[in-house]
Amino acid sequence: MIAGIAVIVLLVAFIEWLRSSIFDKTNLPDDLKALIIAVAEAFIATMGYIFLFRAYDRRRIYELSAATFIENAFKGFSTGIILQALFILIIYLAGTFLVLNVNPVSTMASPFAFALTAGFVAEIIIIGIVFRLLEEQTGTVTALLIFIILFAALHINVKGATFVSVGATAMQAGFMLPAAYVFSRNLWLPVFIHFGWDFAEPGIFGGINPSTSIAQGLLTSKIDGNSLLTGGESGPQGSLPSLMLCLLLGIIFLLLAKRKNNVIIPRWR
């Protein structure tokens, strides 16, 4: 686990070094540079995982199979966008979402690049390495419980954190995304759910995403109202609807995984 995390982090750090030493000195547009770096980081993280665990485990890396890429990428990206759209719809119906301006499509380039890197690098490390190896040793249920507690603990002291926003984060990153992996036994699905999620929130709907400083997307919007519905400083992903919908989707993934016999029983049992 430690070796896997170190390899991916070092590879991504190498791309970041190339950015600062070469790309930032070119005359390319900032959005184009961001997209090139994002694609490079996503590619090198994927290839690093495949080559490392192919050598270490001496097996084919089925969880990143090219044959399953298109189907799971489409399902995952669509799911991430639809979830964010549902959060915004609930906020809109409550009368607290207002579109101030529609910006050029080109403004989505920066959020797209950020989301691409976040989806690939984060989920390859978190799900592909940490959760997968933890699940092999402790079983699916125990690994999920550990992840839920871990993500809740990591976000307790985040600026503007509330009981609901911490619970929503725990359900998203600690339950729904690992459950998507258990269901599909494929990393493309959680990677692209995260990708679509992080792209849609600021890039399409103009919502707050606490993990990025992106200021503009397709829509410039104003979100006011009760923080239970809007997420407050945490953005729509930290709202009560987010918590409930991600919990529901995670349960659905687990039920489908059980039907497919994808749930791992602990070795001690």
Q: Give tens-digit pLDDT for 135-153.
A: 999 999 999 999 999 999 9
pLDDT of residue 115: 93
C-alpha–C-alpha distance, residues 214 and 111, integer Å: 7
What is the tens place of the pLDDT at every residue in 202-245? Answer: 889 888 777 666 667 888 888 888 888 888 888 888 889 999 99
Tokens matching residue 15: 């791309």
H helices present in the chain, as ranges: 2-21, 30-57, 69-93, 109-117, 123, 132-138, 140-154, 163-171, 177-184, 188-203, 227-230, 240-259
Tokens found for residue 139 = 């079983």
For residue 79, what pLDDT band results from cuts at 50, 70 and 90? Answer: very high
Q: How far is residue 231's CA from residue 241's CA, in Å, rounded to a whole number? A: 9
Q: Which of these, 70, 11, 57, lies nearest to 192 by C-alpha position?
A: 70
Give the pLDDT band of residue 269 (cuts 50, 70, 90): low
Helix axes 140-154, 177-184, angle to 10 degrees: 160
Residue 107: its pLDDT value, please?
Answer: 87
- Report pLDDT for 43: 96
CB 8 within 8 A of CB 48: yes
Q: Which residue has the tokens 């990153």?
A: 173
- pLDDT on residue 95: 76
Identify the band that residue 74 occupies on the pLDDT scale cut at 50, 70 and 90. Answer: very high
φ/ψ of residue 145, rounded to 5 = -60, -45
Percent of the chain with pLDDT over 90: 64
- Is the per-residue pLDDT at 193 higher than 80? yes
Residue 99, C-beta contacts closer than 8 angstroms, at least 6 positions apart: 206, 219, 220, 221
Is the per-residue pLDDT at 258 higher than 80?
Answer: yes
Specify the pLDDT at position 213: 63
The answer to whether the beta carbons of residues 115 and 133 sit under 8 Å apart is: no
Mean pLDDT of the chain: 90
Distance of alpha carbon 30 from alpha carbon 42, whole angstroms: 18
Q: Give the residue among 127, 164, 162, 120 at the shortest CA–CA distance from 147.
A: 127
Q: Which residue has the tokens 């665990």?
A: 53
Q: How far apart are CA 263 and CA 183, in angstroms?
A: 8
| Res. 30 pLDDT band, cuts 50 70 90 | confident
Measure the N-to-C terminal CA separation of the chain; round to a whole number of Å.
23
Res. 32 pLDDT band, cuts 50 70 90:
confident
Q: Return the pLDDT at 268.
A: 62
CA distances from 73 to 12, 148, 189, 205, 250 (A): 22, 25, 6, 21, 18
- 133 is written with which tokens? 């190896």
Q: What is the pLDDT of residue 127?
A: 97
